[in-house]
Amino acid sequence: MAEPKENVLMEKIVSLCKRRGFIYQSSEIYGGINGFWDYGPLGAELKRNVKDLWWREMTRLRDDVVGLEATIIMAPAIWKASGHVDTFSDPMCDCLLTKKRFRADQIESQSGIAYFYEGVTDEGSVLHKIPYSVLIPAGKPPESARKTAAQFYELRGIKVKSLEGERSEKVDGTTRYNPENGSLLSEPRPFNLMLQTYVGPIQSEENIAYLRPETAQAIFAQFKNVLETSRQKIPFGIAQVGKAFRNEVTPRNFTFRSREFEQMELEFFIKPDEAIEAITGSVNTADVADHPGEPQPNWGWKMWHQYWVAERVRFYEGIGLSRQTLGFHVQTPEELAHYARATVDILFKFPFSKKDEQGNVAGDELEGIAARGDFDLSQHERFSGKPMGVFDEELRTAWNKLDDAKKAELSKRYYEARLKYLLKCNVPQAKAEKDAKEDADGLAKGQYIPHVIEPSAGVDRLILALIANAYNELNDIDDKGAPRSRVIMRFHPRVAPIKVGVFPLLKNKPELVAKAQAIYAELRQHMMVFYDDAGAIGRRYARMDEAGTPFGVTVDFETFEGVKEGPLAGEKDTVTIRYRGNTDEENGMQERVKISELLAMLQQKVG
Ligand code: GAP
């Protein structure tokens, strides 16, 4: 079955994004460019907030993570070492009738009657032996298959007199036909997703460079520099936020699969399990139901993996994506990337996410958390010839205290793991054995190549998830008492593009305007504030609701005359704070606040 053309909620979201300036199609005035999106004023603020929060939580609030900002174009050898040049491809096929391109692995299986033709005879009675096939639903007359086949031959410049060698066959679960028109597809072929360019004035093979398809590799390539300059010790992480590019075969679902996007990646380097066991006596590999708590010295890679999954879920919950909106997918061995030992995907239930047979929605990938072993650093060591290992004094001391049996056991395990990696990389047996032996000897002297856990999130997918999650429609009454339907974007205050709207009750009262502008001038030093004095106050509130602004501050006559009633009765220099929309947990609450206390109160609320 073809993907449904219409997803009403997605259409509304796309239209709101354009109307309110969250997301626009790139190059729209020239008809757009498929897979590229621009962020408008509200989208740019939302994106900045998300990236800042990630950066703050992943680096500034942690002692064990530091940041990096590397270039988009790097030495092409990096992509050879990482495996991207040889293996970063999707299977692609084309419709033989319309030339439309598909990702072969995303075509849903179909059933029906396949009509096969051996060729065609043209009006000059010449036989053209060009085999072709069409799939039509069971019960549909064969004429429709013949019509499609005739179109196929005519597109090749043949004036059709008769189709030759027709035979039909019932087929089940095939993915060889275009789901939209039944035409046969070309054989799937690998399509490398890296976008290429040339560095320097000559466009030759040796000047080819790639726009990075992930930010991760720069972290591995700079691992030694960061280790030496940051005074960090294993375990520690390096975080990076930045653009990535993939020439996706079929960009789709708005920004979900784009060709230019941003990633927020952490490479968290840990000791191999054999080193942990030598140091602490045993490795904790327990499967925990929830957050495993504070990191412990005896954690092996499995615990660190679980820890980062739990940390990332905590992050999503902290910006308003509740557990119910998220899902998890533990990748099967067949799904795992060539470098990964285990990967857990955190999913979000997007409006376009598919339902299973029971009607449950699993969701689509927001972030992948991969346990990458020591693959990446080992690859860069082999390809660059520069050592990527670390020396661990604690390990050396602990190793010397082990009995011989334990030393032999750990050495053997480490040797076997290294040998497996080297053989997988096609290193000849004798050399692989020699190198693995050297690595095992190195472990006994306190040396190893760190392993890595990688939480890798997409900024654009997260922005789309936050927008979809925030989108609410509300039916209420407008200023004139007429029923209306309007949108409220219920962003968490931490990510909301605009934190506060500031309004004088009336535009034509200079003292109200002056006071509101003074408040605006002060608040904007600390957060994103929008000043609005145009139109009826209800309209101004509605505009802010649609932008997802969680708080509104209104200067009215009581600001000057004193509060009429309530806890602040008689007080001057107060304002009303209005909480966004009346479906919020605060239920459209309004409260009176002293201007002198306003900033501290808002700062506390927007985190
Ligand atoms: N370094 C590992 C890595 O890049 P990935 O699963 O290919 O892993 C990580 O990408 C994240 O980057 C994904 O979970 C997704 O959020 C985001 N991402 C990947 N391809 C994307 C695309 N074409 N458009 C938007 N986001 C994408």
Burial class (CB in 10 A: 0-12, 13-18, 19+), 82: buried
Q: Which atom of ligand 1 is nearest to the CA of 365?
A: 14
- Average pLDDT on 537-565 reads 94
Indicate the pLDDT class of residue 408, thresholds 50, 70 and 90: very high
Backbone angles phi, psi at 185, to 5 degrees: -100, 160
On whether the CB atoms of residues 384 and 81 are closer than 8 A, the answer is yes
Asked if 212 and 72 touch (Cβ cutoff 8 Å), the reply is yes
Q: Is the CB of 258 under 6 A from ligand 1?
A: yes
Angle made by CA atoms 262, 266, 271, in degrees to the nearest 5: 160
Report CA(457)–ligand 1 centroid distance (Å). 7
Nearest atom (ligand 1) to Cα of 345: 14
E strands, 30-94, are: 37-39, 65-67, 89-94
Rg (CA), the chain: 30
Q: Judge whether residue 585 has pLDDT over 70.
A: no
User: In angstroms, rounded to a whole number, what is the distance separating the alpha carbons of residues 349 and 316?
Assistant: 13
Strand partners, 563: 569
**Distance from residue 294's CA to the centre of ligand 1 (Å):** 28
- Pairing relation of β-strands 65-67 and 236-245? parallel
Cβ of 461 less than 6 Å from ligand 1: yes
* Average pLDDT score over the chain: 95
Share of the chain above pLDDT 70, in %: 98
**Is the pLDDT reported for residue 584 higher than 70?**
no
Kindly report each contact of residues 279-284 with a partner whose C-beta sits within 8 Å and lies 24 or more positions away, as own/partner.
279/394, 279/395, 279/398
Query: Angle at CA 101, nearest 5°, toward 98 and 102?
Result: 125
Please, which pLDDT band fits residue 587 given cuts at 50, 70 and 90? low
Give the model confidence (pLDDT) of 319-378 as tens digits. 999 999 999 999 999 999 888 999 999 999 999 999 988 989 999 999 999 999 999 999
Is the pLDDT score of 586 beyond 70?
no
Which comes out higher in pLDDT, residue 66 or 3? Answer: 66
pLDDT at 588 over 80: no
Q: Is 532 in the pocket of ligand 1 (CB under 6 A)?
A: no
H/E/C letters for each residue in 299-367? ECHHHHHHHHHHHHHHHHHHCCCCHHHEEEEECCCCCCCCCCCEEEEEEECCCCCCECCCCCECCEEEE
CB of 20 within 6 A of ligand 1: the answer is: no
Lowest mean pLDDT among 22-26, 32-36, 291-295: 291-295
Residues 6+ apart with CB under 8 A from 28: none
DSSP 592: E
pLDDT per position as a tens digit, 25-77 = 999 999 999 999 999 999 999 999 999 999 999 999 999 999 999 999 999 99
Using the predicted structure, report yes or no on whether residue 540 has a pLDDT greater than 90.
yes
Which among 36, 87, 214 is the best mutation to test ligand 1's pocket, defined by most ligand atoms within 8 Å of the CB?
214
Distance between Cα 215 and ligand 1 center (Å): 10
Strand 471-477 and strand 390-391: the pairing is unpaired
pLDDT of residue 339: 82
pLDDT tens, residue by residue, 179-207:
999 999 999 999 999 999 999 999 999 99
3-state helix, strand, coil split of the chain in percent (to 5) is 35, 30, 35
> Is 2's pLDDT higher than 70?
no
> Does residue 544 or residue 589 have the better pLDDT?
544
At residue 1, the pLDDT reads: 37
Query: Is the CB–ligand 1 distance for residue 246 below 6 Å?
Result: yes
Q: Which atom of ligand 1 is nearest to the CA of 462?
A: 16
Q: Is the CB of 540 under 6 A from ligand 1?
A: no
Residue pLDDT, tens place only, 132-145: 999 999 999 999 99
pLDDT band at 475 (very low <50, low <70, confident <90, very high): confident
Q: How far is the CA of 461 from the centre of ligand 1 (A)?
A: 9
pLDDT for the residue numbered 191: 92
Q: Are residues 281 and 300 in contact, defined by beta-carbon separation less than 8 angstroms?
A: no
For residues 514 and 512, what is the distance between their CA atoms, to the nearest angstrom? 6
The pair of three-digit structure tokens given for residue 92, joined into one six-digit string: 């692609």
Residue 307 has pLDDT above 90, yes or no: yes
**Are 239 and 226 in contact, with CB atoms under 8 Å apart?**
no
Which residue has a Cα nearest atom 16 of ligand 1? 458
| Residue 174 pLDDT grade (very low, low, confident, very high; cuts 50, 70, 90) | very high
**How far apart are alpha carbons 586 and 603 in whole angstroms?**
17
Range 429-441 average pLDDT: 97
If you search the block for the tokens 């996410």, which residue do you land on? Answer: 353
In the reported structure, the alpha carbon of residue 158 is separated from the centroid of ligand 1 by a whole-number distance in angstroms of 45
pLDDT digits (tens, 9 = 90+) for 233-285: 999 999 999 999 999 999 999 999 999 999 999 999 999 999 999 999 999 98
428, two tokens: 């000849």
Q: Is the pLDDT of residue 403 over 50?
A: yes
pLDDT for 583 beyond 50: no
Local confidence band at 582 (pLDDT 50, 70, 90 cut-offs): low
3-state secondary structure of 193: coil
Asked whether 262 lines ligand 1 (CB < 6 A), one says: no
Whole-model pTM? 0.91
Backbone phi and psi for residue 530, each to the nearest 5 degrees, phi listed first: -120, 125
* pLDDT band for position 3 (cuts 50, 70, 90): very low
Residue 580: predicted pLDDT: 84
Quick one: which of 368, 396, 567, 366 has its CA closest to 469?
A: 366
For residue 300, pLDDT over 90 is answered with yes
How far apart are the C-alpha atoms of 387 and 41, rounded to whole Å? 46
